[in-house]
Amino acid sequence: MKRILLLAGKKLPVTYIKVLQDLGASPQVAEGEITADGFDGLVLCGGGDPDPMLYGQANRGSYGIEPMRDRQELACIHSFLKAQKPILGICRGMQILNIAFGGTLTQHLPSAQLHQGVGEEVWHDLRTEGYLRKLYGRKFSANSSHHQGIDRLGRGLRPAAWAPDGVVEAFWHERTAVLGVQFHPERMENGEKIVDLFLKSC
């Protein structure tokens, strides 16, 4: 059984745990300083915005910042990369991965209303490439709950999906087992395909 480390915020990431367990994995939520030792893969969960200081910007619309979580996640990312173990970043998780590879974020998208609803989940179609095209075809509908987005992609990262406004909604790394999605596959009917792909790489 594959042991997967989950990095999340203050709330227990119930939906992430369930999809991993349904696919036969053994998830463990991180507590304190944890490295890649003893784990087969890392999942970075959704949450508030990363600190813009991490990519050299003043705060121009970021909120829900947790500096301690940022530090823990970046340390874990580098530990798993050094150990050559797979990483899956979801929503905020994709954003912190982009930062770890030297990328930047748009702190508040001009079209934020397309990506984040008030009191309800927003859905939109995605145009795909790479692994997402293999899983879902050229287009598929995904949920969306974010007001920030990828600005400059980090080193080695390649886009795998775009929203109708051109925002990058997924990526993969060209040399290591790193996947990122801006949407929430753990809450999608067919989202387990992405999680299963990650687990198979572990």
Residue 183's CATH number: 3.40.50.880
In the chain, where does DSSP find H-type helix? 14-22, 67-82, 92-100, 112-115, 130-136, 192-201
| Residue 24 to residue 192: CA distance in whole angstroms | 12
Express each pLDDT in 137-163 by its tens digit: 999 999 999 999 999 999 999 999 999
Express each pLDDT in 3-39 by its tens digit: 999 999 989 999 999 999 999 999 999 987 788 999 9
Its domain, for residue 31, covers 3-201
Told to judge if 147 belongs to the known catalytic residues of this protein, a careful annotator would answer no
| pTM recorded for the entire structure | 0.97
Q: Which of 115, 146, 173, 184 is catalytic?
A: 184
Q: Which of 73, 76, 115, 186 is catalytic?
A: 186
pLDDT of 119 > 70? The answer is no
Percent of the chain with pLDDT over 70: 99
pLDDT of 115 > 80? The answer is yes
**Token digits for 99?**
């930062």
User: Please, what is the Cα angle at 61 between 55 and 65, to 5 degrees?
Assistant: 65
User: Please, what is the Cα angle at 96 between 93 and 97, to 5 degrees?
Assistant: 85
Position 123 scores a pLDDT of 94
If one counts the domains in the chain, the total is 1
Find the mean pLDDT for residues 37-55. Answer: 97
| Residue 79 to residue 17: CA distance in whole angstroms | 22
Q: How far apart are the first and last CA of the chain?
A: 11
Q: How far is CA 155 from CA 78, 83, 92, 98, in A?
A: 14, 18, 18, 8
| Residue 84 to residue 177: CA distance in whole angstroms | 8
CB-based contacts of 52: which residues, under 8 Å, 6+ apart? 58, 59, 60, 62, 105, 107
pLDDT of 117 > 80? The answer is no
| Residue 142 to residue 188: CA distance in whole angstroms | 7
Could you identify the residue written with the tokens 């998780």? 93
Crossing angle of helices 192-201 and 14-22, in 10° steps, is: 70
User: Residue 112 has what DSSP assignment?
Assistant: H
Told to judge if 45 belongs to the known catalytic residues of this protein, a careful annotator would answer no
Told to judge if 186 belongs to the known catalytic residues of this protein, a careful annotator would answer yes
Q: Which of 91, 146, 169, 173 is catalytic?
A: 91
